[in-house]
Amino acid sequence: MTPSTHRASVTLPDESTAKRVVDALSEVFFEDQAAFAAFERPDGRWDVTVHFAEPPDQNLLRELIDQVVRQDVASTLVFDTVEAKDWVKASLEDLVPVAAGRFIVHGQHDRHRIPPNKLGIEIEAALAFGTGHHGTTRGCLLLLDHVLKAYQPRRVLDLGTGTGVLAIAAAKALHDKVLASDIDPPSVRVAEENARLNGAGDLVDVIRATGFAAPRFAEDGPFDLVLANILANPLRQLAGPMARHLASSAQVILSGLLTHQAPAVIAAYRARGLVPLRHLKIEGWSSLLLRFVK
């Protein structure tokens, strides 16, 4: 059961403003007093949310934000209380199996609802991002299904695997090994556990790595198919290193970017010899399929 918390939310014009506000608040409220979150909206603005264990001083918060922004943004601060709730149980009740081509992502409670002609991928809602209900994950799965209808890649990489859902999907569809990586140690453990849960523990090899720095990428590559559901800025930065680890005519599926960020990501990869083939837009998010022309 998650205890009740007090929440303050505000919408800011851009990322730099959001960062300045979070930095300013972090200097006043310590980690045990408040938790901060900042997310980009589909319209390009940013939402900043602060959770407090105790009711915050509303006037102090407004003054601090007013000092940083000075655009009468502080008056738009919204305060409310998030009641105590078993969020995992509630999430499981609300989430239904998500179909993406031949793949269906589901929780344990929906095992019985998977048709025999579909590939079920069991990911619990408690593991947050990567359950298949996010537009980026679904977009990647749809593009993966499209690719595998006409292409049989031998060397597959899931970069930034998270819960491992994409690596598991590729391994189960191909009946072949997939290399998966993540920068976050807990994500590596979660992905390994999910692979075992889905009967793909022997096929999905998960490593901890930052970008393409680990020796395993050179050992296992060059790759015929790369899946990378990350974020727009890291994707742009990885364009060069990724191109150096691709086989001739390799296909790449990218996601984790808002639709307005897609042109910049496409330009970064086009400069490295990757041409766009498909562009899916789901819930304000973009998923891209590109081919490497060496």
| Range(s) within the chain of domains with CATH label 3.30.70.260 | 5-82
Of 44-53, 67-76, 93-102, the least confident: 93-102
| Range(s) within the chain of domains with CATH label 3.40.50.150 | 138-292
3-state secondary structure the chain: CECCEEEEEEEECCHHHHHHHHHHHHHHCCCCCEEEEEEECCCCCEEEEEEECCCCCHHHHHHHHHHHHCCCCHHHCEEEEECCECHHHHHHHHCCCEEECCEEEECHHHHHHCCCCCEEEECCHHHCCCCCCCHHHHHHHHHHHHHHCCCCCCCEEEECCCCCHHHHHHHHHHCCCEEEEECCHHHHHHHHHHHHHCCCCCCEEEEECCCCCCHHHHHHCCEEEEEEECCHHHHHHCHHHHHCCEEEEEEEEEEEEEHHHHHHHHHHHHCCCEEEEEEEEECCEEEEEEEECC
Cα–Cα distance measured from residue 18 to residue 38, given in angstroms and rounded to the nearest whole number: 7
The segment with the largest mean pLDDT, out of 34-43, 82-91, 213-222, is: 213-222
Which has more confidence, 186 or 3? Answer: 186
Residue 132 pLDDT more than 60? no
Cite the beta strand spans of 107-170 per DSSP E.
119-122, 156-159
Please return the burial class of 114, using the count of CB atoms within 10 Å of its CB with bins 0-12, 13-18 and 19+.
middle
Cα–Cα distance measured from residue 292 to residue 223, given in angstroms and rounded to the nearest whole number: 11
CA 200 to chain centre: 21
What class is the 138-292 domain? alpha beta
131 — phi, psi (to 5°)? -80, -10
* pTM for this entry: 0.71
Which amino acid, one-letter code, is at 293? V
Cα–Cα distance measured from residue 112 to residue 162, given in angstroms and rounded to the nearest whole number: 25
Of 49-53, 70-74, 114-118, the least confident: 70-74
Cα–Cα distance measured from residue 293 to residue 227, given in angstroms and rounded to the nearest whole number: 17
Task: Give pLDDT tens digits for 259-283.
Answer: 899 999 999 999 999 999 999 998 8
pLDDT in the model for residue 87 = 46
Bridge partners, 223 (sequence order): 246
Which has more confidence, 53 or 154? Answer: 154
Which amino acid, one-letter code, is at 185? P
Cα distances (Å, whole numbers) of residue 254 to 14, 44, 280: 24, 20, 10
pLDDT-above-70 percentage for the chain: 89
Q: How confident is the model at residue 241 (pLDDT cuts 50, 70, 90)?
A: very high
Give the residue among 282, 218, 273 at the shortest CA–CA distance from 251. 273
With H, G, I as helix, E, B as strand and everything else as coil, classify residue 220: helix
Which amino acid, one-letter code, is at 166? L
CA 104 to chain centre: 18
Task: Give pLDDT tens digits for 56-91.
Answer: 888 888 888 888 887 778 778 899 987 665 544 554
Residue 1 pLDDT more than 60? no
Could you please state the CATH topology (level 3) that the domain comprising 5-82 is classified under.
Answer: Alpha-Beta Plaits (3.30.70)
Give the residue carrying structure tokens 């602060």: 50
pLDDT in the model for residue 128 = 37
